[in-house]
Amino acid sequence: MTLAQALEDFTLSCQANGLSPVTIRGYRAIVGLMIRGIGDSPVSSVTKRQMLEYVAALRQSKERYKDAPQKPAQAGGLSKDTIASYVTTLHVFWAWVAQEPAILDEGKIINPMTGIKRPKRAKPEPKGIDPADFVALFDNAPCLRDKAILAVLADTGCRKGGLLDMQIESLNLAKRRVRVTEKGGIGRVLFFTHFTAGLIGAYIGGRRSGPLWMSETEDTALTEAGIYMMLKTLKRKTGVIGRVNPHSFRHGFAREYIQRGGDISTLAKLLGHADMSITARYYAVFDEDELQGFHDRFTPMEKSLQM
């Protein structure tokens, strides 16, 4: 079996195991780059030295987005996080290859990634949208639909997949909640404020079924590309220079929730995380000034000095 054939079987396995389309696209892209780098040879012929040379070449690369369809190549090496993502994906792929019965029937496979360390990811940095930027975007949103979408993103901490999945039939404005299906096909409930409920109710008007969010022509459901275009247009219109993408609202929700006194345990549930450590590692991320503010608000010494 060649590497290209193995990639197709690996993709099918990922789909059957319920991995998200985004994860699968990422796996295919990274493994595809490896195949172009070392050649589409039989999987049994790939050696550890080849993989060592390939990973070393990633580290020594002087270009970003090489062979990437979404962007032209740019000068500058790959980031530590990008290299970590590549190496982790290659470990996943080759671990699958080394255990796949259809491949093992052709002969014993020695995992060529064995002994190649997975790089440590860089310490996460705050990625939430700035509250002032959100206000600027909201105030300049040209229509009720866009205002409602911005409010939902900021108020629920939903993923973009959850936003797109919202159906009018799953909406309960009286209880201020909506049931969606997000990453991995897992369903969960999103909660929102009276303010957001009012915007949603005014936007949907007399509609009683179908996708909650419609395109500007109101004849098709809003797409992922449509969301990004809306945010990109608003960012350009307002002159905002900070992060403005669906996930920045999710990060912003998490940061604001904690800064207002919310705890990690309930935040994890609101974000749809099965593991609370994910919430703490990637979303509860603050700079030194913000940590100083937390200290000043919650240090036991402050209460002792008031006694």
pLDDT for res 297: 75
Which residue stretches of 141-245 are H helix? Answer: 144-156, 160-165, 194-204, 224-238
How many Cβ atoms from other residues are within 10 Å of residue 104's Cβ?
A: 13
The amino acid at 273: H
Structure token digits, residue 268 = 């994890």
Structure token digits, residue 57 = 């070449």
Position 188 pLDDT exceeds 60: yes
Determine the Cα–Cα distance for residues 3 and 299; give it in Å rounded to an integer.
57
**What percentage of the chain carries pLDDT values higher than 90?**
57
Sorted by where each starts, the structural domains of the chain and their CATH numbers stand as: 3-104 (1.10.150), 131-298 (1.10.443.10)
What is the sign of the dihedral through the CA atoms of 93, 95, 97 and 100? negative
- Among residues 205, 102, 92, 97, which one has the least CA distance to residue 148? 205
3-state secondary structure of 189: strand
Higher pLDDT, 81 or 233: 233
Instruction: Give the tens place of pLDDT for each residue, 18-73.
Output: 888 878 999 999 999 999 999 999 998 999 999 999 999 988 887 655 555 444 44
Position 111 pLDDT exceeds 70: yes
Which residue stretches of 120-159 are H helix? Answer: 131-140, 144-156
pLDDT for res 304: 55
Structure token digits, residue 11 = 């993709």
Determine the Cα–Cα distance for residues 86 and 89; give it in Å rounded to an integer.
5
Rounded mean pLDDT, 224-249:
94
Determine the Cα–Cα distance for residues 230 and 212; give it in Å rounded to an integer.
16
Position 127 pLDDT exceeds 80: yes
Instruction: Give the tens place of pLDDT for each residue, 259-297.
Output: 888 888 999 999 988 888 888 877 777 778 877 887 777
What is the sign of the dihedral through the CA atoms of 273, 88, 40 and 61? positive
Strands 187-191 and 74-75: unpaired
